[in-house]
Structure 1
Amino acid sequence: MNVIKHLSREELDACLPHIQDSPQDRGLLEAIVIRPSTDERRQLLACELSPEGGVHGDRWAHESWMTLPDGRPHPDVQVSIMSARTIGLIANQEERWQLSGDNLFVDLDLSDSNVPSGQRLGVGTAVLEVSAVPHGPCGKFVERYGKAAAQFVNSRTGKQLHLRGVYAKIVKAGTIRVGDVVTKLA
């Protein structure tokens, strides 16, 4: 049985400078994950994105946790994006990244001061817009990564740096691939 060691809050806090050293304007898409159904994850090398379908293959289009008044999935939570540096630290093993439930893992500064709500990001041929919906840890996050990780991402600094990640909507359909550049757009 493979025992996973969760880092302490002190160990996590000591790694903040590494996370804060993420690229500001041009980063890298390091992983793509879809969630076809609850607790199912598939890591992809490439994927289509569209305003109508979200991250194609992901359950957002038919089972979003946030909906519009008419019952359609809310576009502001189409794509969940997390810092590859943060998840790398918390998950401890790359094969455990997908357990976070996020779609895209990027090496880019996701802090509120760098990618505030409304900031557009180019990824592959798609364009995303960061939404104002906060992304916080759920009970499953605590089970999978430990209480210290949840406290770390939910701390005052963690919230400012968006350590748990951000939500985005798709404003231009396109194809994305692991290794694509992620660019802040004007």
Structure 2
Amino acid sequence: MDTARQSDPPATDRFRSRDELLESLPYILSAPADEGQVRAIVIRPAAGQRRMLDRVDVSARGGLEGDHWAKGCWLSTEDGAPHPDVQVCIMSARCIEAIAGPEANWAAAGDNLFIDMDLSPENLPPGTRVAIGTVELILTAEPHNGCQSFIDRYGRDACVFVNTGPGKANRLRGIYGRVTRDGTIRRGDVMRKIG
């Protein structure tokens, strides 16, 4: 799969209600703790564009090849470079599935990797090192929050779900990682803790 998607229209045909999302919480929170499968890979070539890939090369210098992070992002270093602490966006595959349904609707979320793994701070605290394919990342402390774009694509209830209560406590909107070893990630690879 290598398809470009504009994500300005709603990402689903129907927004999930808060009650529906809360019903999915036990399933989301039962994700594997030690390793989890990469269910989807997405790059964002430019604002509002998404491309789902089967594999991607990843580097400390450029992040995911073809992703706009390297061109500049919402968080910069003092010298104006894109901040490495927000280089790779990771979201729970179970959470986005509860919010958006089929994988075809996931890319609009704007995350790079959708992984079937427990992303809670108890399981993956900032500073945890993980391996995915031949890539290594260190997970950062930068918070990842739902925003107006997330509301536009998935509805207000979805944004409240990930940004408050158990959603916030378990980082259901996602986490960020910084590349510490260049390599390749493929759909179906496993993310595992290495330190």
TM-score category, normalised to shorter length:
over 0.9
Instruction: Please tell me the root mean square deviation across aligned C-alpha atoms, in Å.
Output: 1.1
Aligned position for 1:132: 141
Distance 1:75 1:94 in 2: 27
Whether the 8 Å CA contact 2:40–2:103 is kept in 1: the answer is no
User: Which secondary structure state, in structure 1, belongs to the residue aligned with residue 137 of structure 2?
Assistant: strand
- Structure-1 separation of matches of 2:103 and 2:138: 26
Identity of aligned residues (%): 48
- Give yes or no for the alignment of 1:116 onto 2:110: no
Deviation of 1:181 (Å): 1.0
1:60 maps to what in 2?
Answer: 69
TM-score by length of 2: 0.92
**Number of residue pairs matched?**
185
> CA offset at residue 93 of structure 1?
2.6
Amino acid at match of 1:139: Q
Residue 162 of structure 1: aligned partner: 171
Matches within 5 A, 1:1-186: 4-186=13-195
Moved over 4 A (4+): none
Give the whole-Å Cα distance in 2 for the aligned partners of 1:48 and 1:160. Answer: 31
Cα displacement (A) at 1:150: 0.4
Deviations 1:111-165, CA, capped at 9 Å, x for gaps = 1100111111100000011110000011010010001000000112111111000
Helix, strand or coil: the match of 1:12? helix
Q: Deviations over 1:80-110 (max 9, x none)?
A: 0000000011012321100000000000000
With the length of structure 1 as denominator, give the TM-score of the two structures: 0.97
Following the alignment from structure 2 to structure 1, what is the Cα–Cα distance between the partners of residues 132 and 109?
21
Unaligned runs of 5+ in 1: none
Which structure 2 residue ranges, 5 or more long, are not aligned? 1-9
